[in-house]
């Protein structure tokens, strides 16, 4: 093997990871449109036959055992910079997803001097991550991508409480047909979903749907997002089992910022 071929061999895993960071209309969409083979949550254990990544050792979601996290008060905070944008929404057959359809620098999160653009957010019921073995009724994922293709996903556990007015605008905008993205004139600001206290659990994981690309930075916020029982029920009338079971931790470290 000559030097050129050897360097290409070394770079191949990174190239494959970037290839699996699916983009549609320049919005990161976790595996839904790229994977041509049918997949469903009722047979999540067989996803390795769709994409080998799904049988990998760095998979998400996980159970976060709070007694085993590495607690560090010096961990940096996530620096959110969100502004209003018009809803572009799709029922893709696996979840309800809102795309930003914008390159505006105003919708970003920064961590350790690296900035990631918000590409989309979507919902799961029940939660995909568990805390000390317990699910929440739902989970929200905010998917961000850096210019180099690196992904950072912020997870918000959703629990029952008071209604969130921004979620009302999202639910009222859901298209009548699957797989048809529709643009709305009403605007939303994702900062309306963020908790006041921004402690988090962080670890390296994967997309939670095929192709299950690995190497993502996950941040699961410690404080939940509260929705009313009616708002939770409205989503679960559409999707009440669109969550992947927790995956083995495989000696990964979960960091905790108090």
Q: Which amino acids are annotated catalytic? A: 94
Q: What is the residue-wise DSSP string for the chain?
A: --HHHHHHHHHHHHHHHHHHS-EETTEE--STTT--S---GGGGGGGGGT-GGGGSSS-S--EE-GGGSEE-TTSPPPEEE---EEEEEEE-SS-EEEE-----TTSEEEETTEEEEEEEEEEESS-SSEETTB--SEEEEEEEE-TTS-EEEEEEEEEESS--HHHHHHHTT--SSTT--EEEEEEE-GGGGS-SS--EEEEEEE-SSTT--EEEEEEEESSPEEE-HHHHHHHHTT-SS--PPP---TTPPPEEE-
């Amino acid at each position: 093997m000559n030097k050129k071929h050897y360097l290409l061999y070394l770079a191949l895993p990174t190239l494959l990871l970037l290839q699996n960071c699916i983009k549609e209309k320049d919005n990161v969409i976790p595996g839904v449109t790229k994977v041509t083979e049918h997949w469903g949550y009722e047979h999540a254990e067989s996803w390795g036959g769709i994409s080998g990544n799904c049988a990998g050792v760095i998979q998400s979601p996980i159970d976060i055992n709070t007694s085993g996290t590495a607690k560090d008060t010096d961990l940096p905070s996530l620096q959110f910079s969100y502004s209003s944008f018009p809803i572009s929404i799709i029922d893709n057959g696996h979840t309800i997803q809102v795309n930003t359809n914008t390159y505006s620098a105003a919708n970003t999160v920064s961590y350790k001097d690296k900035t990631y653009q918000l590409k989309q957010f979507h919902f799961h019921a029940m939660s995909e991550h568990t805390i000390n073995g317990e699910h929440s009724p739902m989970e929200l994922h905010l998917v961000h991508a850096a210019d180099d293709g690196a992904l950072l996903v912020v997870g918000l556990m959703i629990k029952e409480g008071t209604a969130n007015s921004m979620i009302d605008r999202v639910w009222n905008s859901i298209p009548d047909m699957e797989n048809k993205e529709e643009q709305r004139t009403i605007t939303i600001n994702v900062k309306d979903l963020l908790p006041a206290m921004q402690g988090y659990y962080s670890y390296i994981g994967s997309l939670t749907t095929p192709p299950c690309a690995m190497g993502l930075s996950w941040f699961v916020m410690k404080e939940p997002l509260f929705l009313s029982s009616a708002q939770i029920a409205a989503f679960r009338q559409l999707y009440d089992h669109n969550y992947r079971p927790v995956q083995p931790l495989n000696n990964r470290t979960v960091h905790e910022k108090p």
